[in-house]
Amino acid sequence: MINGFQESTNGNGGQAIGFFNVDGNTNNVVEGNGGDGVIVNGPNSTGNTIGGATPAARNLIVYASNANTVQGNLIGTKGTTDLGNTQDGGRMTSSSNNVVTDNVVAFNGDANHNDNGVEVFKSGTATPVGNRILNNSISSNQAPGIDLSLSTGSVGPEQDLKDPDTGTNNLQNLPVITSAVSTGTTTTISGTLNSKPRKTFTIQLFSSPLLTNEDKTYLGQVNVKTSRKGKASFSFFGTAVPQADEITATATGADGTSELSDPVSVAPAS
């Protein structure tokens, strides 16, 4: 088990395992570690796999660079145990085309570090795009579950018509959930997306306890294609979600995954 690695007082270090920005540092596999500290850094560290599809392949904390897969890891937690990192659970710094999937990300950040579950962060001139954050369980972090940051202190994406703005994951617009209704056996979720015209997007739906505004339980997904005006609507039919739990959603397209939508509480069927 590898755990307990913390950054120094000047904010450096803290990784148990590091793949740094060196030519040829590619196609590595890290799996089966029970601790917290993997960093893959720089554009020359590509094609690495952190974790895997089976429980035996899990690790506990991952930082990623370009074109890597972060899959099936326990990041900041072991089951329900708080092993949270003092900063983000996972951070992609000026790195593109990563896939972060099927991870459990919880308890990251502390009283001194108001950090996120997963952050896509721009540093310097390289703008990270195409990062896909899918099928994860993200909860109990100090800050939002997914954050697309322009730079330190930046604000989140603007919900702009046809989504022409640029930045981390090109500031992919969020879905808007318009209703979430449960009959006790099924839940129907409806919503809209305004984004780039005539493009296909994957809308993923999640539920979480009231007032947590994260994405603890993955419910499923639907695909939509926007019109020439950049508009699309969606409906999702799934298993029952407890009334008053919250529903959130993400949109994923060629530019990558959005932040989480504003939450909507599940209402009883009328």
Domains of the chain, first to last: 17-149 (no CATH), 168-268 (2.60.40.10)
pLDDT band for 239, please (50, 70, 90 cuts).
very high
Query: Is the pLDDT confidence value at 42 over 70?
Result: no
Query: Is the pLDDT confidence value at 206 over 90?
Result: yes
pLDDT band for 134, please (50, 70, 90 cuts).
very high
Q: Give the whole-angstrom CA distance, residue 151 versus residue 168.
A: 9
Do residues 105 and 85 lie in contact, with contact meaning Cβ atoms separated by under 8 Å?
A: no
Q: Taking all residues of the chain, what is their mean pLDDT, rounded to a whole number?
A: 78
pLDDT band for 152, please (50, 70, 90 cuts).
very low
Range with lowest mean pLDDT among 100-109, 228-237, 249-258: 100-109
Place of tokens 């900041």: 76
Q: Give the whole-angstrom CA distance, residue 176 versus residue 251.
A: 10
pLDDT band for 125, please (50, 70, 90 cuts).
confident
Q: Which two tokens stand for residue 219?
A: 């419910």
Q: Which residues contact 218 (CB under 8 A, 6 or more apart)?
A: 135, 136, 137, 204, 205, 206
Do residues 204 and 134 lie in contact, with contact meaning Cβ atoms separated by under 8 Å?
A: yes
Bin 57: left if φ > 0, else alpha if -120 < ψ < 50, else beta. alpha
The residues facing 81 across adjacent strands are 78
Q: Give the whole-angstrom CA distance, residue 159 versus residue 173.
A: 5
Range with lowest mean pLDDT among 1-10, 29-38, 196-205: 1-10
DSSP letters, 87-148, are S-SEEEES--S-EEES-EEES--BTTB---SEEEE-BTTBPP--BEEES-EEES-SS-SEEE
Do residues 102 and 135 lie in contact, with contact meaning Cβ atoms separated by under 8 Å?
A: yes
Q: Which two tokens stand for residue 126?
A: 């390289």
What pLDDT, on the 0 to 100 scale, is given for residue 59? 54
Q: Give the whole-angstrom CA distance, residue 89 versus residue 2.
A: 16
CA atoms within a 13 Å half-sphere pointing along the CA-CB vector of 70? 33
pLDDT band for 77, please (50, 70, 90 cuts).
low
Read off the pLDDT of each residue in 213-237 and give the average, rounded to a whole number: 95
Query: Is the pLDDT confidence value at 27 over 60?
Result: yes
Range with lowest mean pLDDT among 184-188, 202-206, 232-236: 184-188
Closest CA to 69 of 83, 49, 95, 86: 49
CA 265 to each of CA 248, 255, 269: distance values in angstroms, whole numbers, following the listed order = 9, 29, 13
Q: Please indicate, yes or no, whether the overall pTM of this predicted structure exceeds 0.85.
A: no
Query: Is the pLDDT confidence value at 223 over 60?
Result: yes
Range with lowest mean pLDDT among 60-64, 131-135, 196-200: 60-64
Q: Give the whole-angstrom CA distance, residue 30 versus residue 148.
A: 26
Query: Is the pLDDT confidence value at 119 over 70?
Result: yes
Q: Which residues contact 248 (CB under 8 A, 6 or more apart)?
A: 145, 177, 205, 206, 207, 208, 213, 214, 215, 260, 261, 262, 263
Query: Is the pLDDT confidence value at 141 over 70?
Result: no
CA angle 44, 34, 149 (to 5 degrees): 50
Q: Which of 65-69, 122-126, 250-254 has the highest mean pLDDT?
A: 250-254
What pLDDT, on the 0 to 100 scale, is given for residue 73? 82
